[in-house]
Structure 1
Amino acid sequence: MRHLRALCAIADTGSLHRAARLLGVSQPSLTTQLRRIENALGAELFRRERTGCRPTLLGRSVLSRARPLVDGMSALVSEALAEVDAARDGGPLLRIGATASRVIGGWLRRLRVALPGTDISLRVDVSAHALLRDVGAGLLDVAFVHEVEGSPLAVPDGLRRHVLLDREPQFISLSRDHPAAARPVVDLGDLATDRWMVDPSVDGEWDGVRRVLHAAGLDPPVLHGDYLTAASLVVLGEVVAPCQPTSGPREDMAIRPLRDDPLAVRLLLVSRPGTDTVVVYGELEAAYREAARGAAPYHQWLVRHRSPLARTP
């Protein structure tokens, strides 16, 4: 459905740039997504012209089938949610959305203890913008998202923001036999000849990495792919890849901070008005502290920077 919504947005706006703004994603991410769809079909769906994007004959055919599916799915979700609300016995419900994070498991475990009897659901999505739209539409109660530095998220009006961490450094994952793995802190210059792998479907990720590499005067080859694939290639020494500092220890991979922390994200909990987030936020913070203490390179980084997160509450 995400692919179909993207095609409809491109057709409706006539521009990849305007469609990306409508969907709340970066243009490179949307361009990559469209390229993947066209590669899967083996033909172009849009002609890129100076005045914008125009559907091809195949594109018009696909769109004629996509629009009813997109509209039908929106109606199905709304009706299903209404039926769930009507069928519930009045017990509390908490609908959580999150971008991928090592913190989620501990957060859920803590919430189930802190909120007994609450029906807690979870949806994980690579797109922070998609989760924020669903909070704004009332499909989720809260969303824990990562905002890449330099690529601000479009938070719908009326939602509440709670900053868990204003600046979380992003570390680098590399093979155990990489020369830089022997050092506690890695310089970007040590990775100048490496291939990098970035997931362009993660909102702001590719833009952030590209800015940092450009500022350092580096232009390494960059592969696009999901981070599960990236991890397998990192182990083999084929690529290096940015990663969350809370990433757990692995015997086959080294995770190191980058000198001066050029890559960073802001961690936000966004909620609907009226949602009681005192317990939700408190347990998220506790789960984050736990994950940070369990990741030795990050805990050492927190100690060096005298972060309150390094202290045991």
Structure 2
Amino acid sequence: MDLEVRHLRALCAIADTGSLHRAARHLGVAQPSLSTQLRRIEQELGGALFTREPTGCRPTPLGRLVLLRARPLVAEMRSLVAEARAATADGPQLRVGSTASRALAGWLRRLRGRRQEPILHMNVSPNALLRMVAEGQLDIAFVHEVEGSPLRVPEGLRLRVLIEREPQFVSLPADHPAADRPLVRLADLAGDRWMVDPTVDGEWDAVHRMLRAAGLSPRVLHGDYHTAAALVATGEVVTVCQPTSPSRPDAAVRRIEGDPLGVRLLLAARTDAALDAVYPALAEAYWETALLAPAYREWLERERDEHRAFAPTR
């Protein structure tokens, strides 16, 4: 087998995510397929490239040597593809990366209104998006940093903080007894199953820390947040959610007492000029979305009244 760029990209993804499961998710392939591909690459190169441990995959000495040569080749190919696409595109385009946010629609609409045509790339991993900006695949990235799990910011990236600490709320079935109150105690959820997406950088650890600090040890299931939303609606699980998430007839969004879980919202680019060009539109879109969420708006107003706020008045 002759090694191709896609093989090198797979090796970089495994090293960057530290897990075959997360790497497969990042690459958009099935984990068994990626495992088979890795075995073939290792057979071609004559040795193991990663050690498989309970906590994930770690490069062997041979793996580190291969990655040292692979990374610049993968970055160069990505840059070549991005430049070629930009050269053939109609008009100036802005390559935007983002983790999930309800502010995205308003942000993209404002960018288009300012003649900045955005091309959106979504990813659950903020660390992956930051690498893409550093490697020239994206112009800008809007990401979140889970409290207690600092992001790995590539050298040379410029960051701008949108929100220093956004509290995370909980989504629970609409007929849950705790849904009758605007403020939910974690103890009220002691008998519930939780669902967390382990591919979101830092979130699995943060939720476990929050539950342990409350003296709870509920069953925590793996699953993406689309699945979690469906299971919340049927009463199977509860899950953390952004405070801008709307309640629905089958699911209630409530604040957690003490705000034990938070994230920092960041915008990343390679230059300050790139940040200046898009930050105002993002800030406008975020506050528009935030102030339409009743529970979050109440939280923001309380913070403002206590002289700790950052939200604009309307």
Same structural fold, with TM-score higher than 0.5 when normalized by the shorter chain: yes
Deviation at 1:248, TM superposition (A): 2.1
**SS at 2:311's partner residue?**
helix
Q: Which residue of 2 aligns with 1:86?
A: 87
**SS at 1:266's partner residue?**
strand
Return the TM-score normalized by structure 2.
Answer: 0.79
**SS at 2:144's partner residue?**
strand
- 2:193, 2:219 within 8 Å by CA — same for their partners in 1? yes
Quote the Cα distance in structure 1 between the aligned partners of 2:232 and 2:88. 48
Which amino acid counterpart does residue 257 of structure 1 have in structure 2?
Answer: R
Q: Which residue of 1 aligns with 2:164?
A: 166
Deviation at 1:10, TM superposition (A): 8.7
The structure-2 alpha-carbon separation of the partners of 1:5 and 1:76, relative to structure 1 and needing over 3 Å to count, comes to closer
Q: Which residue of 2 aligns with 1:66?
A: none
Q: Which residue of 2 aligns with 1:309?
A: 311
Q: Which residue of 2 aligns with 1:105?
A: 105
Deviation at 1:105, TM superposition (A): 0.4
In the alignment, structure 1 residue 8 sits paired with structure 2 residue 6: no
Which amino acid counterpart does residue 292 of structure 2 have in structure 1?
Answer: G
**SS at 1:132's partner residue?**
helix
- 1:172-230 Cα offsets, whole Å, 9 max, x none, are 00001111100110011111111000000111110111111111111100100000000
Q: Which residue of 2 aligns with 1:136?
A: 134
Q: Which residue of 1 aligns with 2:3?
A: none
Higher mean C-alpha displacement, 173-182 vs 248-257: 248-257
Q: Which residue of 1 aligns with 2:235?
A: 237
The count of residues paired between Structure 1 and Structure 2 equals: 281
- 1:168, 1:264 within 8 Å by CA — same for their partners in 2? yes
The structure-2 alpha-carbon separation of the partners of 1:226 and 1:6, relative to structure 1 and needing over 3 Å to count, comes to farther
The structure-2 alpha-carbon separation of the partners of 1:198 and 1:275, relative to structure 1 and needing over 3 Å to count, comes to same
Deviation at 1:112, TM superposition (A): 1.1
Quote the Cα distance in structure 2 between the aligned partners of 1:299 and 1:127. 27
The structure-2 alpha-carbon separation of the partners of 1:189 and 1:32, relative to structure 1 and needing over 3 Å to count, comes to farther
The structure-2 alpha-carbon separation of the partners of 1:92 and 1:34, relative to structure 1 and needing over 3 Å to count, comes to closer
* Residues 275-290 of structure 1: pairs in structure 2 closer than 5 A: 275-290=273-288
Which amino acid counterpart does residue 107 of structure 1 have in structure 2?
Answer: W
- 2:13, 2:23 within 8 Å by CA — same for their partners in 1? no
- 1:147, 1:268 within 8 Å by CA — same for their partners in 2? yes
- 1:46-103 Cα offsets, whole Å, 9 max, x none, are 87479x9699xxxxxxxxxxxxx999976654332222343457x5332111001111
- 1:175, 1:234 within 8 Å by CA — same for their partners in 2? yes
Q: Which residue of 2 aligns with 1:63?
A: none
Quote the Cα distance in structure 1 between the aligned partners of 2:133 and 2:71. 19
Quote the Cα distance in structure 1 between the aligned partners of 2:192 and 2:34. 29
Which amino acid counterpart does residue 78 of structure 1 have in structure 2?
Answer: S
Aligned equivalent of 2:210, options 209, 212, 227 = 212
The structure-2 alpha-carbon separation of the partners of 1:31 and 1:240, relative to structure 1 and needing over 3 Å to count, comes to farther
Unaligned 5+ segments in structure 2 are 1-5, 25-29, 40-49, 60-69
Q: Which residue of 1 aligns with 2:96?
A: 96
Q: Which residue of 2 aligns with 1:221?
A: 219
The structure-2 alpha-carbon separation of the partners of 1:168 and 1:38, relative to structure 1 and needing over 3 Å to count, comes to same
Quote the Cα distance in structure 2 between the aligned partners of 1:101 and 1:187. 25
Deviation at 1:294, TM superposition (A): 1.2
Deviation at 1:33, TM superposition (A): 3.6
Unaligned 5+ segments in structure 1 are 12-18, 56-68
Higher mean C-alpha displacement, 247-256 vs 101-110: 247-256
The structure-2 alpha-carbon separation of the partners of 1:229 and 1:82, relative to structure 1 and needing over 3 Å to count, comes to same
Superposition RMSD in Å: 3.4
Quote the Cα distance in structure 2 between the aligned partners of 1:308 and 1:34. 37
The structure-2 alpha-carbon separation of the partners of 1:119 and 1:171, relative to structure 1 and needing over 3 Å to count, comes to same
The structure-2 alpha-carbon separation of the partners of 1:193 and 1:283, relative to structure 1 and needing over 3 Å to count, comes to same
- 1:171, 1:245 within 8 Å by CA — same for their partners in 2? yes
Deviation at 1:245, TM superposition (A): 0.4
* Residues 283-298 of structure 1: pairs in structure 2 closer than 5 A: 283-298=281-296
Quote the Cα distance in structure 1 between the aligned partners of 2:153 and 2:51. 32
Which amino acid counterpart does residue 175 of structure 2 have in structure 1?
Answer: D
Identity among equivalent pairs (%): 51
* Residues 16-35 of structure 1: pairs in structure 2 closer than 5 A: 19=15, 23=16, 25=17, 30=19, 32-33=21-22
Which amino acid counterpart does residue 84 of structure 2 have in structure 1?
Answer: E
Quote the Cα distance in structure 1 between the aligned partners of 2:53 and 2:218. 30
- 1:231-263 Cα offsets, whole Å, 9 max, x none, are 000011100000000112312110001001001
Quote the Cα distance in structure 2 between the aligned partners of 1:230 and 1:283. 30
In the alignment, structure 1 residue 251 sits paired with structure 2 residue 249: yes
**SS at 2:137's partner residue?**
coil
